[in-house]
A and B are shown apart, each in its own frame.
Chain A
Amino acid sequence: MTDAVVYVVDDDRSVLASLESLLSCEGYQVLTYESPKDFLAARCPDLPGCLILDVRLRGASGLEFQRELARAGIATPIVFITGHGDVPMSVTAMKSGAVEFLLKPFRDQDLLDAVREGIGRDRRRRARDAEIAALRVRQAALTPRERELMPLVASGLMNKQIAAQLQLSEATVKVHRAQIMQKLQARTIADLVRIVDQLAGSGT
């Protein structure tokens, strides 16, 4: 499992050391930071990961840091740990997308499960991102005219209907359609619909 990294941010060095030991024993690559600032300043490896975050951090709270990360577009899943938690705190954390909210001292299995879940999420997200990135590359190969046609084809219109709408010949539309299918590597219309959906869903 060395293809995954766990970041730990806690201002208690002893807690950092214990978590590093536990997680490295489970085969994770572990990077520890004493403050959110250190974490932001560090260069993170391009690997699926998970962030273990203490709720109470220097000056600011871990919950605020969670929002800050979200604003900065850092989507690493977060597992919160805290020495004093209450219900509103955990609700806020979970609503903002935290994987888990654990009270210190926690059972090691709970933490490891949460970390596994977080890394799983991150891996899926990365796979999705990679797929979309690949699609974008393919999309970039389309000509403007083809790009104009793509949503019409995906919406299930016949060549004849498209030709009428854009005032083109049916043969031209047919050529464009074949080009689009080929460039986006879509074998069927269903494939094309999925690809267009993905591209639309990820924003432009």
Chain B
Amino acid sequence: MDQDAHTTPTDRRYTAEHEWIKQEDADDTFLVGITSFAQEQLGDIVYVELPKVGDRIEAGQPFGVVESVKTASDLYAPVSGEVLEVNAALVDEPQIVNDDPYQGGWMIRVKAEGTPSEGLLSAEQYADQIGE
């Protein structure tokens, strides 16, 4: 396993439910995915259910489901907004989320309304939460 692909990046923020959110060049667009800790807890991911482009997501509410051989788990939106794009590669190759959770395993691109909620964690705070 490429360790670098699983180190908690400092260029983004995190939810207590193990999602990450990364601001892109345009101020109001963000990428959302799940952390390496999350993919490791889930085990081999077999299916990712994502919203449709144009759907509205609501901060703190489920926007999709990730299913592994062990369990199915809701994905919680770190921000409210409109879905601009979903990662189509995950349909055929959900294991990208296991292999490369912070880059290739991104899930949705969101045009945010307002700023992401204040409860988000820094990389350091998130690492503390998961006991790293």
A and B co-occur in one complex: no
Which residues on A are within 8 Å of B, measured CB to CB?
none
Residues in chain B within 8 A of chain A (CB atoms) = none
